[in-house]
């Protein structure tokens, strides 16, 4: 059995995004983010924390969540960030939900859409409203293991390294251009839960950086 605390490199991610991603602060323009989350919201909070620490020049205008039980809403309240529940079960078609999301994001003045554990398939209604300005985080080294249960897929395949990816969102699920990745070694005794916990530590590192990087690449952030 590997004792992970005694092998520091096992906990050291390999960043594939350039370090200059934090230079987004130098842009001087505050990014206006709208975050979509369905669950615990730890990535939402990691972004809020990076902003609070002055690492990311941005503000979260609104959190939209689709599940009344989402812990993300509690985190938003803690940070004093407005949150709006748009329960997908109240909409007959995906497009109707996306239309309401777009209206809410615009109402709160968001310019970027950040999918932080958003468990709904998006439609052209959302993508066309924020061209190249929708980012998603996925718990695998894309293009491997897109879709649901990415970590179980990785463990079943017997991969020796796993990780996470931030990418721009396109119509195909988990497929848009990659902005940042972090690599996480798979340990012999990993379960989906233990591996996910270590991947999440790296998600919280790369997501704010990837937002900064996307802004740097944009003509008009
Ligand atoms: C993350 O692992 C993310 O990669 C996936 O959903 C999870 C959301 O976690 N898309 P949290 O709600 O941010 O804690």
Predicted confidence (pLDDT) per residue in 154-196, tens digit: 999 999 999 999 999 999 999 999 999 999 999 999 999 999 9
Q: Decide: 221 in ligand 1 pocket, CB within 6 A.
A: no
The pLDDT of 138-161, averaged and rounded, is 97
What Rg do the C-alpha atoms of the chain give, in angstroms? 17
Q: Is 53 exposed, middle or buried (0-12, 13-18, 19+ CB in 10 A)?
A: exposed
Res. 198: pLDDT tops 70: yes
pLDDT tens digits, 1-31: 444 454 444 445 555 555 555 666 556 789 9
Model's pTM, two decimal places? Answer: 0.91
Res. 137: pLDDT tops 90: yes
Q: Decide: 13 in ligand 1 pocket, CB within 6 A.
A: no
pLDDT tens digits, 97-120: 999 999 999 999 999 999 999 999
> What is the reported pLDDT for 219?
75
Closest C-alpha residue for ligand 1 atom 6:
117
Q: Which of 138, 167, 196, 204 is catalytic?
A: 138
**Ligand 1 centroid – CA 135 distance (Å):** 13
138 included as an active-site residue: yes
In ligand 1, the atom with minimum distance to the C-alpha of 137 is: 4
21 vs 197 pLDDT, higher one: 197
Q: Please give the mean pLDDT across all residues of the chain.
A: 90
């Amino acid at each position: 059995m590997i004792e992970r605390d005694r092998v520091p490199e096992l906990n050291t991610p390999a960043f594939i995004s350039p370090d200059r991603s934090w230079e987004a602060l130098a842009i001087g323009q505050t990014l206006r983010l709208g975050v979509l989350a369905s669950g615990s919201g730890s990535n939402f909070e990691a972004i809020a924390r990076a902003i609070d620490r002055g690492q990311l020049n941005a503000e979260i205008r609104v959190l939209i969540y689709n599940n009344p039980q989402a812990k993300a809403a509690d985190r938003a309240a803690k940070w004093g960030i407005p949150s709006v529940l748009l329960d997908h079960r109240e909409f007959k078609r995906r497009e109707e939900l996306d239309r309401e999301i777009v209206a809410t994001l615009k109402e709160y003045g968001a310019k970027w859409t950040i999918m932080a554990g958003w468990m709904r398939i998006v439609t052209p209604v959302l993508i066309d409203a924020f061209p190249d300005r929708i980012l998603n985080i996925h718990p695998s080294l894309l293009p491997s293991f897109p879709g649901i249960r990415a970590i179980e897929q990785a463990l079943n395949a017997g991969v020796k390294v796993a990780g996470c990816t931030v990418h721009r969102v396109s119509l195909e699920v988990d497929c848009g251009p990659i902005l940042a990745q972090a690599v996480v070694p798979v340990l012999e005794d990993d379960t989906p839960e233990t591996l996910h916990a270590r991947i999440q530590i790296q998600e919280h590192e790369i997501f704010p950086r990837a937002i900064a990087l996307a802004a740097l690449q944009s003509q008009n952030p």
